[in-house]
Structure 1
Amino acid sequence: MTFDFSGKHALVTGAASGIGAATARRLAADGVDTLHLVDPDGDGLDALDLACTVHRHVADVSDEAFWNEFDAAEHRLDLALANAGIGSGGQIADLELAEWRKVMAVNLDGAFLTLRSALRAMKLRGGGSAVITASITGVKPVPGIGPYGVSKAGAAHLARIAAAENAAHGIRVNAIAPGGVDTAIWESSPDFRKSAAEQGREATIAAMGAMSPRGRFATADEIAGEIAFLLSDLAGNVTGTVHVTDGGYSL
């Protein structure tokens, strides 16, 4: 299925890899006019070859100064994906506050700052659509990833509140809650790195995915397709939802 984003201007954070990069490619393939891509990985942004106008912003989504400059430029925005995120592991009782705050800064503060700028721009346009990347771990409690799960639960509720606040402005806001997806975020886990060193990355991903009812992890492109649907006019009556896409993991 393809969607018609012709003439649209979009913002994607965490765009250098994974779901963000896949969504940028999907939007470009479906005719988006202009993409604003945000990620601290400038090389990753440069590697994206997209058939549309691209503005690359090498920045940390938790940096309010960057977003203030972005707002001041008065960019046109019709679509936004607040996707930037980092992983974390460890039992709550063993965590340092610095680790907790690091994850919250990117995953929750960054989502807030991204969405705030997107909403401001969309109000000037008289409408728009935004998606926040949450996680099934923000819906189903999973031990050992407290900061990540809590940040994603907060991101999901952020979407709901923003949807209620902005429906009258013609702006839809939804969250997507993926389960296991084959992206680079797994490299932040020491256990994953250990397994990948012993048996290879593909075998490790396959073994982890086999534990879900579907029997495999999703690809970033699959999740990008669902995000494109939520951003598109085909989902015009959908707002304030947390779309779970986890291959049955939460059953």
Structure 2
Amino acid sequence: MTQIQDFTGRSALVTGAASGIGAACARTLAARGAAKLFLVDVDGAGLDALDLPGEVHRINGSVADEALWQDLEPRMAGLDHSVVNAGIGAGGPIADLSLAEWRRVMAVNLDGAFLTLATSLRAMGSTGGSAVVVASVTGIKPVPGIGPYGVSKAAVAHMARIAAVESAKKGIRVNAIAPGGVDTAIWESGEDFQRSVASIGREATIKAMAKTTPLGRFASSEEMADTIIYLLSDAASNITGHVMVSDGGFIL
């Protein structure tokens, strides 16, 4: 009997695949039999470092680049699964942000997610498939100081729900996941994080940040990947338009 989380012979797209949640998803899909992977990231060296079986297409570029998707779309015809994951962080109160900084975040987190999802849905056609958009609990619970990030993640979660309604008749499921704190490289660009790491080290910094989470820890990329792969898989065949919160209780 075929396992319901078996991806043997299937194709999948993963953005932000060079590290963190994206890399964990790529490794899990490959381990579960995916025959063809399309991996997109601005970090070409990170993509090259992924040692994966099967047919792997590494695309070095920004998800916000429309030309990248115009070139890639015909190559992905018949796509089965898509992980819309690429994103960047931001800091600062809304009143202090420049439009340029706002647009920098929206270009990747919202425009890039739109281009990724829209292209994926067209590539899946009418033969069915599934997509998971990586949102954030900060798109549900307001957190001060990260306005563009939280707004972009609220937007992509709702985009996933709209796409789910639009795509259901084609047999395509679209869901979102809203992680809380995850120990990934996205924190590295934050000035407060960098100062804390210089003072007490990275491990202690992550541990201190996790004190606001009832479970008292940040999740690993592999934990997030397990949930994403479940939503992509046939095990979740009756789930669409859902925003699954996986945050260690942070939203409570």
Output the CA distance in 2 between the equivalents of 1:193 and 1:52.
Answer: 38
Deviations 1:94-137 (A, max 9, x none): 0000000010000000000000110001115x100000000000
Q: Is the 8 A contact 1:159 1:173 kept in 2?
A: yes
Structure 2 unaligned blocks of 5 or more: none
Alpha-carbon distance, 1:2 to partner? 8.4
Read off the aligned partner of 1:29 and give its amino acid letter.
Answer: A
Structure 1 unaligned blocks of 5 or more: none
1:145 aligns with 2:142: no
Correspondence list, 1:62-73, <5 A:
62-73=64-75
Read off the aligned partner of 1:183 and give its amino acid letter.
Answer: T
Deviations 1:125-159 (A, max 9, x none): x1000000000000100000000000000000000
Output the CA distance in 2 between the equivalents of 1:203 and 1:77.
Answer: 42
> How many residues of Structure 1 are paired with residues of Structure 2 in the alignment?
250
Output the CA distance in 2 between the equivalents of 1:234 and 1:215.
Answer: 29
Corresponding position of 2:84: 82
Corresponding position of 2:202: 201
Corresponding position of 1:34: 36
1:4 aligns with 2:40: no
Deviations 1:40-93 (A, max 9, x none): 110000000112210000010000011011123353310000100000000000
Q: Is the 8 A contact 2:4 2:235 kept in 1?
A: no
Correspondence list, 1:1-251, <5 A:
3-124=5-126, 126-251=127-252
**Partner secondary structure for residue 130 of structure 1:** strand
Output the CA distance in 1 between the equivalents of 2:234 and 2:168.
Answer: 15
Q: Is the 8 A contact 1:2 1:30 kept in 2?
A: no
Q: Is the 8 A contact 1:14 1:85 kept in 2?
A: yes
Output the CA distance in 2 between the equivalents of 1:95 and 1:206.
Answer: 28
Q: Is the 8 A contact 2:30 2:52 kept in 1?
A: yes
Computed over aligned residues only, the root mean square deviation of the Cα atoms, in angstroms, reads: 1.2
Alpha-carbon distance, 1:209 to partner? 1.3
Alpha-carbon distance, 1:188 to partner? 1.6
Read off the aligned partner of 2:167 and give its amino acid letter.
Answer: N
Output the CA distance in 1 between the equivalents of 2:68 and 2:144.
Answer: 34
* TM-score normalised over the length of structure 2: 0.97
Indicate the percent of aligned positions where both proteins have the same amino acid: 65
Q: Is the 8 A contact 2:77 2:124 kept in 1?
A: no
Residues 2/201 of structure 1: CA separation in 2 closer, same or farther (3 Å cut): farther
Output the CA distance in 2 between the equivalents of 1:2 and 1:50.
Answer: 22
